[in-house]
Amino acid sequence: MGSRISRRGCRVAVRRLRYAESYVRARLFGTDGITMSPLNHTAIVLGVTGGIAAFKSASVASLLVQAGSRVDVVMTESAQRFIQPLTFSAITHTPVHTNAFAPWTDEHSGHVSLARNADLLIVAPATAAAIARLALGLADDLLGLIALSTEAPIIVAPAMEDRMFNHPSVRDHLVTLAERGVIVVGPDHGRLASGAIGDGRMASPEAIVEAAATQLRRSSQLHGRKVVVTAGGTQEPLDPVRYIGNRSSGMMGYALAAAAMSAGATVTLISGPTTLRPPCGAEFVEVTTAVEMHREVERATFGADILIMAAAVADFRPETRSERKLKKQVDQEFMDVRLVRNPDILASIDRPDLLKIGFAAETEDLLANAKRKLEAKHLAIIVANDAELTIGASSSTATILTSEGDVTALPPMTKSSLAAKVIDVATTMLNRADRRP
């Protein structure tokens, strides 16, 4: 009886395993098999750094190879203390790279050819040291050289003890990398090598490879397209030292510019004053006032496919700007400032074939207000969110409304993830418009 139950239990377990495996394979490789996978015929550099999770990178390499990628594994010295290069060369059928000073040949010129040929660089596991080195741009080993020389997107999968992961230094380095468009996968919460439970477990090999597939699919989404993004708040001067402004940080617009870049678009980012670093590779235009932003948007949208107005544009500006600092009188209790209307940039830009995307940050009647703006400004998409919760925060809970009547309420997510979603929706609408007769 007992053995019968356990045999049946075994059959169920095997069925479940097969189901799980086919589910993962379908997601990674497509239901039509390997040729459907965006990983097929791609060149991936897999950087393995020195943490105990390095043994799981063998599964990452194996899944990539099964999906049709050529995988060049680059191991740091400390990674080789955890796992042998032989393991990876047996899986990838390609020699493992461990030496920055290996002699160059006609076919292989060290980090230069690895960086140039790569469609994607994955660093898994990425230890705290590796993350710091990538963020600082240290190039004294092969992986550092490749990371600095490649134009391919980079995915890092952090893996370390939870106290290390939660250290401000590690957090700051990850923020720096994310700002540069590096995709951070995981880490997961769970059992760590020490036996403790916490954040720092490397994301599963399936999750890492799925992120790679998503990124490669995305890299070509907007290839050949021109995207104009506005970000930050405008400042409307009263005198040489004072202005009327708002609390916009610019994070959403910068994340959108980065997402459009990693989707393969040519990007112009027009930004009000912020403390953020512009994404590398984008045309960057700094403006201060709404009138300046209007002029730059008109210029940049010539020949553009998408305009995303994430900027918080001041609707009014002081009628006059004093040339000298305004002085108060001893007995002055009030000051009147007359404001005049600024142009509505999004509503006024009217170019055929330009897909316009707006943002509606509201404190009440969110969806009704967003829908009204979508129609009034002839937008394809509007992203609606709660002004008080969103402005200045690194995450957002948004609803995406489209001119086709779709309303998608999204769960809370980082602004980078929201940016990727907005780009996905825009790409779908753009492609659909292209197919119309």
- Cα 131–137–140 angle (5° rounding)? 95
Between CA 117 and CA 42 the distance in angstroms is: 9
Between CA 206 and CA 24 the distance in angstroms is: 7
Partners of 238 in the beta sheet? none
Q: Report in angstroms how near the CB of residue 359 gets to ligand CTP at its nearest.
A: 4
Between CA 212 and CA 119 the distance in angstroms is: 10
Catalytic choice (246, 342, 369, 385): 246
Between CA 414 and CA 396 the distance in angstroms is: 6
Q: Report in angstroms how near the CB of residue 311 gets to ligand CTP at its nearest.
A: 5
Name which of 272 and 278 has its Cβ closer to ligand CTP: 272
Between CA 310 and CA 379 the distance in angstroms is: 13
Q: Report in angstroms how near the CB of residue 251 gets to ligand CTP at its nearest.
A: 15
Which DSSP string do the residues of 157-173 spell out, in sequence order?
EE---HHHHTSHHHHHH
Q: Report in angstroms how near the CB of residue 147 gets to ligand CTP at its nearest.
A: 35
Name which of 37 and 390 has its Cβ closer to ligand CTP: 390
**263 and 257 Cβ atoms separated by less than 8 Å:** no
Task: Give whole-number Cα distances, 2 to 13, 178, 303, in Å.
Answer: 16, 53, 73
Name which of 165 and 359 has its Cβ closer to ligand CTP: 359
Find all residues with CB under 8 Å of 299, minimum gap 6, and list them. none
Name which of 146 and 382 has its Cβ closer to ligand CTP: 382
Partners of 43 in the beta sheet? 70
Q: Is 246 a catalytic residue?
A: yes
Helix (H) or strand (E) holding 398: strand 398-402
Q: Report in angstroms how near the CB of residue 347 gets to ligand CTP at its nearest.
A: 7
Neighbouring C-beta atoms of residue 165, cutoff 10 Å: 21
Neighbouring C-beta atoms of residue 299, cutoff 10 Å: 12
Place of tokens 């990693």: 262
3-state secondary structure labels for all residues of 85-148: HHHHHHHHCCCCECCCCCCCCCCCCHHHHHHHHCCEEEEEEECHHHHHHHHHCCCCCHHHHHHH
Contact residues: ligand CTP, CB under 6 A: 290, 309, 311, 313, 315, 342, 344-346, 358-361, 373
The letter for the amino acid at 13 is: A
Name which of 52 and 291 has its Cβ closer to ligand CTP: 291
- What does the longest C-alpha to C-alpha distance in the chain come to? 98
Name which of 88 and 359 has its Cβ closer to ligand CTP: 359
Name which of 75 and 310 has its Cβ closer to ligand CTP: 310
Q: Report in angstroms how near the CB of residue 413 gets to ligand CTP at its nearest.
A: 19
Q: Report in angstroms how near the CB of residue 377 gets to ligand CTP at its nearest.
A: 6
Catalytic site positions:
246
